[in-house]
A and B are shown apart, each in its own frame.
Chain A
Amino acid sequence: MDLMVEGVSIALQRGEELAYPARRISFTVKPGEFLGLVGESGSGKSLTMLALLGLESCSPGVVEGRVRYRSEQGQLYPLEGLSHYVRWHGGLPRKRTAAWQRTVYRRMKPLLGRRIAIILQDAHKTLNPFLRIEDQLLEMVARQGRADAEKAGWWGRWRQRRSIHQQLRQEALRLLKALHFRDPERVLRAYPHQLSGGMAQRVSLALALASRPEFIILDEPTTGLDVTLQAALVDLIRQLKQERRLSGIIVSHDLMFVGKVTERMAIMFSGELWEIGPTHNVIHPDFPWKHPYTSYLLSFARQKRRGSAGPAFQNVLWQRPKQGCPLRKSCPVYLHQLDMEQRRQCDSADPSPVPVFPEHYIRCWQYAWEEQKHAAGY
């Protein structure tokens, strides 16, 4: 139901150099709520998402922070939080990777594919190329069916004994219909390589939904889907939120799509969260408080006609400055709007999140000053 992420950092080591594709990421996803993780490619959003489930494969991977998940019944599952597997020697982490992997796997096993479903970016990779869609989908439906059958008791099972396969097939067809397949029968017969990218995307969504998860993680769900299907997906996710109180995370670079289905949105760039808040506030052009990077993102989404949207922000994954705000070298506010005094502040320290609205935090010095003024009684 709810996922609590507290200060997770992922490290990448290249010789003596250390970079953080995700640095002290913290957020909470509440029941029945979707969180959108938005950023351009290379900003570390996919990696963060994988790390939440212990699936990331970079080395040394997660080095600090913890992730916990609370199920519908209120049981608390610790997922990450294994900082005792990491020792720091001269500023570099040494991690007992095998033991860590084993532990994370043991912790994830009761959850993944049961309570938590995940849809990866490349749908063709999630499907088994040797099996027909029917066999893969019915397996997931049947797993849920077995759980239902156990609830039904021996009399229920006796009544259902004949047509189990037919029932499962009907269930699978119903799922595919809900995902707007024109010819579900043909899809069931097909092998994954016979499907187009968009179809494979929808099939993997069907696989994920077949296990009736409480929490769903979608990585770039709109790639390969055309407009009508994107609109249908918006509709489907809203419906699931209402009916099953499904919650989840959507990782995407499509700001408008994420804006349609999520309650809260986090803006990520260069491995760090810069803004997190209610979606309406974050994406609305008239909302007064915005991180400079967010306004840069919005300038792309807003323009109908073509034309460049100003100089790009530079990703500082490997060249992160020792002190000061890491984005300041390419930040238009820093370059054009601030006076010397204020710039000195930006140069001196990394900004910390400032609340500008209930549950809306921005990491930028501009708002920290406003906050200080408020505190001083201006």
Chain B
Amino acid sequence: MQPVIEVQNLSKNFTIRYREDWRVYTYSKQAVRNVSFSVFPGEILAIVGESGSGKTTLGKMMVNLVRPSSGQILLNGQPVQRLSQRRFQPLRHLIQMVFQNPYASLNPMMTVREHLEEALRLADVTDPHAIEQEIQQLTQLVKLSPQVLTEYPDQLSGGECRRVNLARILARRPRILILDEPVASLDFAIKQIIVDLLLELHQKLGLTYIWISHDLEIVQAVAHRILVMFDGEILEEIPRDGSRRDGCGHPYTEILFTAAHRLHTWEQEDFSTLGAVLPQPTAGTTMASRERGCRFRSFCQRYRTIGRPKLCRETPPRFKTVSQNHLVRCHFPWIENPEVTPK
């Protein structure tokens, strides 16, 4: 099958300037490092990782809101990373992004109806009768009550606001949606409802989702494939059901899943042991000093238990295939018995 999006060796450097003591300092922060993956039509691809790991930047690069420093993005085989905003305009029918903060992406001076009308105008629907019909359809599609149409964004609840955003985006009939934390900071019941709605739309309209999230519970239930990101790198690619069964994986994924599991069990578990699991840098090291070798190793429990092998210190790891479609960027991806001799 032909992938709809192909990302090849994508990187992004941000230059950050700050002032201190009347001098200006600059430093460069690499938000995304050499990321490659592809998305197939009709798929739900989840990207998980801690905050600040570059998930959102990656999403923004795919809709041409952030220009990549290097690398390629192919949309339906067409390279788009150097297109101007104007040239990208026709492709916005193909790919759209739903942002994390729904209130920030709506104009506080416009009613919901005006938002939808504007979106439809951009989709070249000009006939007032057609606009009226489309608005009807869209509100039904996202299950929004018609009273909401006359309201302003600050009158909406969190769930309604997300529905309005979805409706506005669906007005352009995109094929691919990038959902940036679609259900974060929602109440449990509304979270469930929005997830159900998104899955229904996925079925009904045949959309492709890139689901950026840190909520592992939902991601595990929903996604076809999971990419795990840490500090701008993809560390692991997990196929749907192979996640924890084959006993392999990256130590960071291990941390994520353990923490999620302990938070979601009923027993009052002892969290004091979790201190060992949580990523804690060894004293005196920062991320910036990790130019050689595995970048994760200062947080890595496995690296310490197997005796700090030279391989981890010297060579940056490449992806290893541990089972079908399951890729791990680690020198020692086996959890059970790491058969290694420290060198």
Contacts and interface: CB of A to CB of B under 8 A. Distances in A.
Interface of A: 40-42, 180, 182-183, 189, 196-199, 220, 223-232, 234-235, 238, 253-257, 259-260, 280, 283-285, 297, 300-301, 304-306, 308-309, 312
A182 B287 contact: yes
Contact of B278 (A220, A228, A285): A228
Contacts of A297: 188
Given A234-B263, A283-B266, A229 B50 contact: yes
A255 B263 contact: no
Contacts of A308: 192-193, 196
Given A226-B50, A227-B214, A230-B263, A253 B187 contact: yes
Contacts, number: 111
A253 B215 CA distance: 15
Interface in B276-311: 278-281, 286-287
Given A227-B259, A308-B192, 8 more contacts: A180-B279, A197-B51, A223-B185, A227-B215, A232-B274, A238-B271, A254-B188, A305-B221
Interface residues of B, number: 46
B52 A196 contact: yes
B157 interface: yes
A304 B217 contact: yes
- Max chain A CB contacts within 10 Å: which of B184, B215, B255? B184
Given A40-B188, A238-B271, A256-B264, A228 B255 contact: yes
Contacts of A255: 188
7 contacts: A180-B279, A189-B20, A197-B51, A199-B52, A227-B215, A304-B221, A306-B222
Interface of B: 18, 20, 49-52, 157-158, 184-185, 187-190, 192-193, 195-196, 199, 214-218, 221-222, 255-256, 259-260, 262-264, 266, 268-269, 271-272, 274-275, 278-281, 286-287
Given A40-B189, A257-B263, A260-B268, A226 B51 contact: yes
Given A182-B281, A230-B263, A306-B221, A235 B275 contact: yes
Contacts of B215: 227
A336 B264 CA distance: 30
Contact of B188 (A197, A230, A300): A300
A198 B188 contact: no
A280 B193 CA distance: 28
Contacts of A259: 266, 268
B214 A312 contact: no
A227 B261 CA distance: 9
Contact of B192 (A223, A224, A232, A309): A309
Nearest to B277: A231
A224 B275 contact: no
Contacts of B281: 182
B159 to A, nearest CB: 9
- Max chain A CB contacts within 10 Å: which of B196, B263, B269, B280? B263
A158 B286 CA distance: 35
A226 B18 CA distance: 28
A228 B264 contact: no
A235 to B, nearest CB: 5
Contact of B259 (A189, A228, A254, A312): A228
Contact of B189 (A227, A284, A312): A312
